A and B are shown apart, each in its own frame.
Chain A
Amino acid sequence: MTTPQRKPLLQRLAGTNTLWIALVLLLLIAVFGALRPDAVLTVFTLQTTLVETAVLLVLAVGMTFVIITSGIDLSVGSVLVFSGVTSAMTMNALSGGDATNAGWGVVAVGLLVALVSGAAWGLLNGVLIAKAKIPALIVTLGSFGAALGAGQLISNGSNVSGVPNVLSNNLGTGTTFGVPNLVILAAVITAAGALLLGTTRFGRHTYAIGSNEEAARRVGISVTRHLMTVYLLAGVLAGLAGFMATAYFRVASITGHDTDNLNAIAGVVLGGTSLFGGAGSIVGTIFGVFIPAVLRKGFVIVGVNVYWQPIAVAIVLVAAVWFDQSRRKARDQR
């Protein structure tokens, strides 16, 4: 009898989607870099690309957990808007109507309100999906509409201005050693998410539930509670994303987030996380989120009509899912 061996690291890496998607990203950067080395490979381009992707990355971290459980969350963009609105309006209310010159205390309350708003929607999603067993697609399609509607009701359908300067100048546009603070926050969240998913029991159970929910239940994993926690996590991160977007744009915007959910899902799936659940990684999601961003930036710099970007993303996305599907089919035929 032979003792089972671990495959060498390189061989294990080659078997993952993550490696391939990382190569695609590097290839894109190399191609754009070769076409316009002067404009592409600059600190400014790097900084703006990172900043523009930071908020989406935070949404995508939560989405990665959700999709690994073989769920979906269409509501993240609307929850982002709702949380931004409630947060900004609370900060204004605490400062007599205009929080522009408010201090850190007000900002802290604003952050808390954003997180709680996100948590509330996430918990609602989780209860309906895990306890009431309504399909995630329908539940989050509902909260996608409802959260946006609620945000518009509260703000009377207009953007909320009066965001504190201390918030916008520091978190929104400030930098630390040349790195935008927004990017640092997103990086910390992403790293924490990667550790949670990759090294802890919570992460292991997330994979197990997505791979075979019944098997997870039979070994005594509390599937209902775990799923609720995962949607709660996605909601809290959407709330944080709302706070970050508010800080960056200096306004809690009602519009412009209609397709955040789809962008987050696309990034996660591009990064090798399977829509069928059970497989995926945060590292993959990072690459996946940056592919559309690099394409957009690259097209602008190289002078390709930017409307080509969604088409290019669509092609890569469909190819990635097709690849994942055929790999699974080959595996399950054994």
Chain B
Amino acid sequence: MQAAEVGGLSGGSMADPLLEAKDLAKHYGSVEALRGASFTAFEGEVVSLIGDNGAGKSTLVKCLSGVQRPDSGTLVFGGREVVLDSPVAARALGIETVFQDLAVAPDLDPAANLYLGRELRKPGVLGMLGVLDKKEMRRRAIASFEDLGVTLQSIDVPIGSLSGGQRQSVAVARSVVWASRLVFMDEPTAALGVVQRERVLDVIRRVRDQGMAVVLISHNMPEVLAVSDRVEVLRLGRRVAKFRAADTTVEELVGAMTGALSQEDA
């Protein structure tokens, strides 16, 4: 395999990146999860972040979504250097995350989950007392689910009683409804059936077409190639390769992940 030819993007040929992380490092005790990892995402693209188990994907996403702070390194978002010290700070910038472990409240219904932490309140005095506008939230939630092609038979059952695919769809919908610039999706299709997986991928494409950046973390190489515009590869806490999805193959991606192949300046 010739690394130079499969080569990533030549810099400068694209617009400025929406998100650029440089030389991020993160330790957990003596474990170095990230050793100078870099990452780039552009508006209107799906970029996949791949790597073997323990390569640092989840840690990188946590650092980029404000769940954890890197020990060192810089983060540039929309042309400005930013510090993400909490998920709230990331959200204020229009960054949302779909977590691998499905952070939904299983006892609440889909509308309540969609609006969790952002509940709409009734107008006037009742709203000031904290009274929720459940009807309006339900109405808007139904509209949002419809927009994203999420099919639910019932809007008022606890989300825990839905199938895994539907639950996942709601989790994905919650992030993309609120995101305005960038969405991280950590294994959004893990443990889904074929049909449900296609549906989530459709949602991802739709979000991209709205002009947002989507960062997909996945172990499923055919899926990565099917949905991504670009792929960045992480190994041992460092970015080792960048590819255009259209110009690469599963073999090359696996080669980069395992260290059989590497790009000098990635």
Contacts and interface: CB of A to CB of B under 8 A. Distances in A.
**A joins B in a complex:** yes
Interface of A: 1-7, 12, 199-202, 204, 207-208, 210-212, 214-216, 218-221, 274, 277-279, 328, 331-332, 334
B81 interface: no
A1 B149 CA distance: 8
Contacts of A211: 105-108
Grouping DSSP codes into helix (H, G, I), strand (E, B) and loop, the B interface class, with mixed when no group exceeds half, is: loop
B105 A278 contact: yes
B108 A208 contact: yes
B107 A201 contact: no
B161 A201 contact: no
A201 B145 CA distance: 22
Contact of A202 (B104, B130, B153, B154): B130
B156 A7 contact: yes
Nearest to B89: A220
Nearest to A278: B107
Most chain B CB inside 10 Å of its own CB: which residue of A1, A212, A221, A279: A212
Nearest to A328: B160
Contacts of B156: 6-7, 12
Contacts of A212: 103-106
Most chain B CB inside 10 Å of its own CB: which residue of A2, A4, A277, A332: A4
A179 B201 CA distance: 62
Contacts of B106: 211-212, 278, 331-332
Interface string B103-130: 1111110101000111101000000011
Given A199-B132, A218-B67, A334 B103 contact: no
A279 to B, nearest CB: 5
A331 B67 contact: no
Contact of A204 (B101, B103, B112, B142): B112
B146 interface: yes
Contact of B107 (A5, A7, A202, A210): A210
A334 B105 contact: no
Nearest to B118: A219
Interface residues of B, number: 44
B82 to A, nearest CB: 17
Contacts of A208: 105, 108, 112, 116-117
A4 B164 contact: no
Given A208-B108, A212-B106, 16 more contacts: A1-B146, A4-B155, A6-B155, A6-B156, A7-B157, A12-B156, A204-B119, A207-B108, A211-B108, A212-B103, A212-B105, A215-B104, A219-B117, A219-B118, A221-B117, A331-B160
B103 A279 contact: no
Nearest to B92: A220
A12 B158 CA distance: 11
Interface of B: 67, 86-88, 91, 97, 99, 101, 103-108, 110, 112, 116-119, 121, 129-132, 134, 138, 142, 145-146, 149, 151-158, 160-164
Q: What 3 pairs across the A-B complex have the smallest Cβ distances? A: A219-B117, A278-B107, A211-B105
A331 B105 contact: no
Contacts of B152: 4
Contacts of A1: 146, 149, 151
Contact of A2 (B103, B112, B153): B153
B161 A334 contact: yes
Contacts of B103: 212, 214-215, 218-219
A135 to B, nearest CB: 21
Contacts of A219: 87, 103, 116-118
B105 A4 contact: no
B132 A201 contact: yes
B30 to A, nearest CB: 25
A207 B105 contact: yes
B91 A334 contact: no
Contacts of B121: 201
A4 B99 contact: no
Given A204-B112, A218-B67, A334-B163, A279 B154 contact: no
Contacts of A274: 107
A215 B154 contact: no
B151 A2 contact: yes
A331 B154 contact: no
Contacts of B119: 201, 204
Contacts of A207: 105, 107-108, 112
